[in-house]
A and B are shown apart, each in its own frame.
Chain A
Amino acid sequence: AQSVTQLGSHVSVSEGALVLLRCNYSSSVPPYLFWYVQYPNQGLQLLLKYTTGATLVKGINGFEAEFKKSETSFHLTKPSAHMSDAAEYFCAVTPDTGRRALTFGSGTRLQVQP
């Protein structure tokens, strides 16, 4: 079984500031990890994913995440926030056997202040 915990349901940053959205997972087997973004009144868009290989993963829109097995974490970062980054962000996990659909975290709403 696997689960995802996202710390902080709301995060507010100033434009140009560092964005850090936290995700910790629990999985009985090695996981595949994902970050999705949901803009208001839209579906989910894949930001990035970790499956195997390099633990630092770069995604779209300047976001990146690092898989840290020892910390069971997959935090999402962006060096400089833009107003257009304001959205809901979801972390998700699936076991690396690839036989299960995604398990989502509760989501983090990012606000970007001018």
Chain B
Amino acid sequence: SAVISQKPSRDICQRGTSLTIQCQVDSQVTMMFWYRQQPGQSLTLIATANQGSEATYESGFVIDKFPISRPNLTFSTLTVSNMSPEDSSIYLCSAGLSYNEQFFGPGTRLTVL
């Protein structure tokens, strides 16, 4: 299994600012994903982070709002840009060697005022 860490674990941000969340995996993985979990709801896939190329975004999510980087096989970042209170959520990184073997990070709890 892979051990995944995320930074920061939580943050409180002002409207209009941006926050970059880091995801670090303790071993090389093929797949990395970013999910959003809005308060009291399930997980929604934001995008697949592709190593060395642009991320693949799901319907309803765009690169300008959620730019993603993945410079190597163990690290990825998600930026939440121009934040509004509606962006208050838990953001989770997942990773694995295949789509059917995913491990999740502890999440980043974001509150936007």
CB within 8 Å of B: which residues of A? 32, 34, 36, 41-46, 49, 51, 90, 94, 98-107
Contact = CB atoms under 8 A, between A and B. Distances in A.
B45 A44 contact: no
13 contacts: A32-B99, A32-B100, A36-B104, A42-B107, A43-B92, A43-B106, A45-B104, A94-B99, A99-B99, A101-B48, A102-B43, A103-B45, A105-B42
Contacts of B31: 101
Contacts of A41: 109
A98 B98 CA distance: 7
Contact of B99 (A44, A98, A105): A98
B43 A104 contact: yes
Of all A-B residue pairs in the complex, the 8 with the closest CB atoms, nearest first, are A44-B104, A43-B106, A43-B104, A32-B100, A104-B43, A104-B42, A98-B99, A106-B42
B33 A51 contact: no
Interface in B57-106: 92, 94, 98-100, 102-106
Interface residues of B, number: 21
Given A43-B107, A101-B45, A102-B94, 7 more contacts: A34-B100, A44-B92, A49-B100, A98-B98, A98-B99, A101-B48, A102-B43
Contacts of B53: none
Contacts of A90: 42-43
A45 B33 CA distance: 15
